[in-house]
Structure 1
Amino acid sequence: MSSSEAETYDHDGRPVKHHRNRVNGIRLHYTTAGSGPPLLLLHGTPKNSFYWYKIFPLLTPYFTLVAPDLRGFGYTDKPPATEGYDSGTNADDMAELMTQLGHDKFHLHGEDRGADYAYALAAKYRDRVLTLSFCEMQISGFGLEETSFWTKENVEAQYQQKGVWCWHLGFFYIPHIPEMLIQGHEREFWEMFIKQECYNPTSIEPRALDHWIDCVKQPGGLRGVLETYRSGFKNGDIHKELLEKGGKLTLPIMTIGAPEFFGPTVESNILKVAEKVTHSELFEECGHSLALEKPERLARCLRKFMLGSSN
């Protein structure tokens, strides 16, 4: 696959700008485009900044977009130590990046693992995040772990549209075994993993899947992804401490859930750490990858919530 097939473009058809900054002890890759108030986009697993390629042209007329490859993903460094993949460190990564870019205050949207980090960022840097869009996730330490339990209720939850069984949380946490089983079968595993979370599996285009798998196959790529899960319990401790010290979030918050994954549990979960949810939606006929399955609707929600625009 040529690099142009994994490129992102703005609303005028111009390719985004790629950058590498030295941030918090690592070299971080990110893309930027657009004009207007800054909006930081945090992706999930096993994706990277290319995850946003469908939504970029829908948002660049309204926002200055910043889309990083999170620590351990894509073209960003994958430090060898097991420490440093937690939500607190990722929050520091993002805060330092936005400072370097001159964005003292910014809007914030996260999906999946990126939403977990987005909560930590909003809770740790409360004077900097203007609005939080928390989508398709439950917060570590406040319910995410329970979704992995092997119970009859969890296993049957998705068939009854009452939630989802996150069987992979425990599997990815185990040292060495996931690497042994996934290496050499990256295409089979990750294609299954991503598409089974979708309402419409064809929304995951081959060029996106090819790109993410190529990145996972890089030296340290698979380990980098898995270390984010091995930091799960530490994330929970960090989030509980943030709540204890700072109290519940008071900034405007939007939640979006999809019936094929977390669904209505997204809103109820964030209320454990937030005073209120300003706006909440369920995207019918949608799964876990909101920006790929419903990019137009997601873009409208972000514009209306963050800018008060109905366009």
Structure 2
Amino acid sequence: MAIEGLAASRVSTNGIELSVHRAGQGKPLILLHGFPQNHRCWEKVAPRLAEEFDVIVPDLRGYGDSDAPEGAAVYAKREMAKDIVGLMDALGLDRAHILGHDRGARVSYRLALDHPARVDRLGIIEIVPTGDFWAAWDADLALAAYHWTFLAQAAPMPERMILADGPGYIDFTLASWTHGKDLSVFSDAALESYRAQGADPARVAAMCNDYRAGATLDRRIDAESRASGDRIAAPLLFVWAEGGFPARTGDPLGVWRDWAADVRGCALANSGHFAMEEVPQAVLDAVLPHFREA
């Protein structure tokens, strides 16, 4: 179900096929979604971005209409970043801007660390790096981000529990992470696509495997990067919601300054976790100047 104005295709990359949506001209800008969503989370901002950029919006592996391989290791963000590098190769792109939200932002910063020559400018929405987020946990954050431990439990326990009422679980998750604690910010088309994922055993398994990788491989790889002194070379814009997860970690902008040489950022008022759907104009006001500077 493509966003209006974007053309849909399938692209072979890194041993799988990704569902990809594209529109616009100019410098390539790749948008990477998070959990429990897919490309539709960009529907309120992608058409405006396509007025100035060549906007490319894939479904990450395991989400939307992309392939959903089995196993947790294949959802390590290092592997998912290779999907995006392969996508760029298939499209003939040497470099691109990258903008990621939630799990897509984790793929984005790993892409910038592992493949610095492929990233012009980087945008991160609503996360701090995986290892830093785990390190920030206290009781309040553990209750708010319970899904990090729930989804990471061994298969098939979380899959079976979610599939008892997959669409209901998706609705609960979406509503509880918004500023207004309801579903009013999501379009009917977006909700239909998100709920469909919650009813699909292959997609539910993929989402759980995404978090299993986050709790193990991603955390370890982040620690290795820190120990090696790896730094993100691309200019980095960090946007977080006043009512989102990073805001609960203390100094989220300071966390990113430990990872990158050139960091700027801003907090978004009246938004929960799903900023692109809750406050799309504020997101555009933040990201457009950043990517225009290239």
With normalisation by structure 1, the TM-score equals 0.87
**Which residue is equivalent to 1:12?**
none
**Which residue is equivalent to 1:291?**
276
Query: How many positions carry a matched residue from both structures?
Result: 287
CA distance in 2 between partners of 1:87 and 1:265 (Å): 24
Say if 2:22 is the partner of 1:8: no
Say if 2:135 is the partner of 1:146: yes
Q: How does 1:180-219 map to 2 (within 5 A)?
A: 180-200=160-180, 201=182, 202-219=184-201
> 2:133 is aligned with what amino acid?
L
Is 294-303 or 59-68 further displaced after alignment? 294-303
1:300 to 281, 285, 288: 285
Deviations 1:77-115 (A, max 9, x none): 111233210010011110110111111011010111111
Q: Tell me by how many angstroms 1:63 deviates.
A: 0.5
CA distance in 1 between partners of 2:141 and 2:194 (Å): 29
Secondary structure class of the residue paired with 2:209:
helix
Q: Tell me by how many angstroms 1:283 deviates.
A: 0.5
1:174 to 150, 153, 170: 153
Q: How does 1:46-85 map to 2 (within 5 A)?
A: 46-85=36-75
CA distance in 2 between partners of 1:245 and 1:69 (Å): 31
**Which residue is equivalent to 2:260?**
274
Q: Tell me by how many angstroms 1:140 deviates.
A: 1.3
CA distance in 1 between partners of 2:176 and 2:198 (Å): 19
Deviations 1:45-73 (A, max 9, x none): 01111111111111111010111110111
2:23 to 30, 33, 39: 33
> Which ranges of structure 1 fall in alignment gaps of 5 or more residues?
1-5, 10-14, 156-163
**Which residue is equivalent to 2:79?**
89
1:170–1:148 Cα change, 3 Å = farther
**Which residue is equivalent to 1:158?**
none
1:105–1:243 Cα change, 3 Å = farther
CA distance in 2 between partners of 1:269 and 1:246 (Å): 14
**Which residue is equivalent to 1:159?**
none
Deviations 1:106-144 (A, max 9, x none): 101011111111110000111111111111012112x22
Higher helix fraction (1 or 2):
2
Say if 2:255 is the partner of 1:255: no
CA distance in 1 between partners of 2:158 and 2:24 (Å): 39
Secondary structure class of the residue paired with 1:144:
helix
Q: Tell me by how many angstroms 1:219 deviates.
A: 4.3
Q: Tell me by how many angstroms 1:184 deviates.
A: 2.9
**Which residue is equivalent to 1:115?**
105
CA distance in 2 between partners of 1:54 and 1:145 (Å): 31
CA contact (8 A) 1:49 1:69 kept: yes
CA contact (8 A) 1:148 1:169 kept: no
Is 239-248 or 222-231 further displaced after alignment? 239-248
Secondary structure class of the residue paired with 1:214:
helix
1:33–1:170 Cα change, 3 Å = same
Q: Tell me by how many angstroms 1:265 deviates.
A: 4.2
Is 297-306 or 68-77 further displaced after alignment? 297-306
CA distance in 2 between partners of 1:216 and 1:18 (Å): 22
CA contact (8 A) 1:148 1:166 kept: no
Q: CA RMSD in A?
A: 1.9
Q: Tell me by how many angstroms 1:231 deviates.
A: 0.2
Q: Tell me by how many angstroms 1:300 deviates.
A: 2.4
Secondary structure class of the residue paired with 1:282:
strand
With normalisation by structure 2, the TM-score equals 0.92
Is 203-212 or 39-48 further displaced after alignment? 203-212
CA contact (8 A) 1:71 1:77 kept: yes
> 1:144 is aligned with what amino acid?
F
